[in-house]
Structure 1
Amino acid sequence: MKAFLLGIILFTSVAAGLRCFTCDNARSMFMCAFQGRIRTCHNNQDSCETVVRRVGKRLVIIKRCKQKQACVENAKRQFAVSEFGFVECNTDQSNAVCTCCCQTELCNLQPHACTGMIFPCQERNAIENGAVTCSANNRPRSVCKFECRNPGFFIRPVRSSETTCRATGEWDRPKPCCARACPPYLPNDIVFVRQASTSEAWDEFKRRVVTIMGEFNVGSESALPGIISYDNSSNVRTGNVLKYLLEDYFTTANGDRNSVRNVIVLQADNASSDDVSAPADRLRKAGHKIFVIATANSSNPEYYNQASAMVGDQKQLYIQQNPSDATYIQDLVRELCDDPCQPDSNL
């Protein structure tokens, strides 16, 4: 019977939640240990938090239960540099606050001072046709330097040839790649999409595509283009076309290359009758880049709202002043070459 009761007591204690040591506004770790108590946290509090605040020469210690995400976000924010160059968690300023988080039973019981947490960045792996060397692997303040080792390849973007791991666990610049000079090399699968109100507009669009692709090499080591025409009726459904591109066009069965970026260059004469924002957002989140060419003579405000919503980045929206206006072409070529790297989650 005693063994059975003990089993129930232990089970109840574990099921009730994490246990943390708690104290409130203690003047030292000794006073925190003397005045504090062990507390069973609520079920949604999965972390023990220690906060050390320094105001002049006075210390204030707080230990408590906390949600893990909130605790970690507080700790990271205290390492972020403010617009005035101030870091909250520091050792040489009169006003400072540092937070430490842990997630095991009574893990904050020991009277150790909290001087902040260590947030490693994601590891920087070598890049294709190149190499990387890091001063301290993926630890904060580690500096990683990238170089290209094959002739004819260059680091892009140039500013990312050297990246530093911030104290918040994020790299200060995106991971670069080794790419050939662009133009003429453009490692993209690119589709040109046109909703033309007249056959003349469609013919003019095809001529513009030839001009744009004339800037680049076309082939398996560079750009592979496609072209689509849709909806010259009064019921334009651009959102449906974007959904088709995501779910059917950009697939390996249709020859899509996983190793390169997918690009959409879309021009429509009329506003869409269906939603374009949601499918465009899904495309961008999947790593696809969208450029939109809009006409300047539309009287429908929704037309411009939709064009703006599709690109996300307004640098990728071009306004064509009249049907013969081709000034956007060089800007488009420049933007296509701006970042030839395939999107990488290892930022």
Structure 2
Amino acid sequence: MALSIHIALLIVACFACATGLRCWKCGNARSPGQCIEFGRTQICKKSQKVCQTELRFSSGWGSKPTIRTGCKEEHACGNNFGQNPRKAWLPSQCNKGVANSVCRCCCKTNNCNENELLCEKMFENNSGPPRPPLCVGVPKAPLNGRVICRKSRYEGSSCRYMCNRGHVLVGNAHALCRGFGDFAMWTGALPYCRRLPICDPIAAPERGTVKCFGGNKVGTLCKFTCDRNHKIEGPSAVSCIATPSGPRWTEAAPMCTLTACEDFGEIKHGNVNCSTDNNIIGTTCSFDCGNTELFLTPAGTDSSRCIWKEGEAVWTRQKPCCSGIVCPPTAKKDIVIALDSSGSISSEEWVLMKKFVIRVLGQFIISPTNIQISMFRFNREIDTDSQIVFGDHDSLEGLTKAIENMPKNGGGTYIGQALRYARNYMFRQNNRPGVGDMLWILTDGRSNDEFKASAKQLRDDGVDIIVLGISKKNDPRFMQQLLDLTGDEKLIMEVKDVVNSFEEDLVQLAMTKICEIYCMG
């Protein structure tokens, strides 16, 4: 047991040796308070065995000293200390009446110089430099606040005022210990803590979250989000604003309600049967035509499911209708397709656009008695070299090859010119009398020319105009352009980009637009 204690004492002793002496260090402080406030503990080197304090009076004893403290080698500090009383014809060391007089003192225990900032023990009969006056106590803390002081209370020391959370300091941020001859006192009017104007706490909606930026003070913005399969009913964000009656939120917090798909309504000459009454996520609706002589159009759309996709509830398939033919593949229509090949369409996007058209047309029978296709591309010019007119191809195979070979070059989006070309030329080449006409436009940009009058002429001629708009910039003016083309928002298909949007559901949507003409009224 005694051996264990002995070893432990040796370890402690070795640790103390390893850590070295600790001295208080400050540089060029103008008062003891400043030395304490801005100084720090310094771990001395192995060769530094003592702590030193140095006082320098630039204008004799009546001036305030500059104080420097820190670690020192024992022999060096001893030599300095020995010079204090050294006699000379005009001594400059520790001389009360000489400018730039310097006094130094040494001590050997941890932080011993922290309490010897004026080397008072070195002098007898108060012959040393006068001790600066000391402020009594600490300044009073403001209501709803606090005061933080260093341990020094000498002249030149300072204390800092701070306010509690939700309050702001008005007035002096610091109190200064100021000397007046033989005494000192804290100066500066007591500040106060003013309560920040805040709104009442706002709670997160059930099955949702709220995140506020700035607490609840005026100017704070709070944003709400809902859990998966839920949507916000109300504002997605509110702000704390100042009003004559006090701070308040701009709106009440929203609710998070279970997301549901739009109601299908009825199918003329058919039936809709859904697994729930409110069309929530997971609901499946089945369709049928009660009359056995009618068929669901587009074919194969006998059911649809409500799913969560890209932050909203959507049906996997559009609502079908009941018609006298099976569409697709059966349909009888003369369709002109106009492809925008302006500079904003990349080469990769151009290939994908053509493949998409081929996939849609592949759902139908291409023949002189079913669907006929005419197709051209446009930008600043109309490409007549690669165009396809009615009757050029009586099968999907030949039509596919012709579409694949269409080049991509040129710039500019001139929809008005394309509409006039379709009306004055394409619809007059082998157009079948008594067969419905359709113009399908694929474009990604706003037109550089006027087109509204030409679009209206085509619609007045009985041409159904459907548009696939690629709205890369989410421009509301572009969406208005699509509506001006079709005259009916139901004839608009919109995607955000080509690469990620030309999927099977868009093919189904395009088929629906083509087959809708056969729906029974």
Q: TM-score range by the shorter chain?
A: 0.3 to 0.5
Higher relative contact order (CA 8 A, sep 6+): 1
TM-score (norm 1): 0.45
TM-score (norm 2): 0.30
- Considering fraction of residues, name the structure with more helix: 1
Looking at CA atoms only, which structure, 1 or 2, has the larger radius of gyration? 2
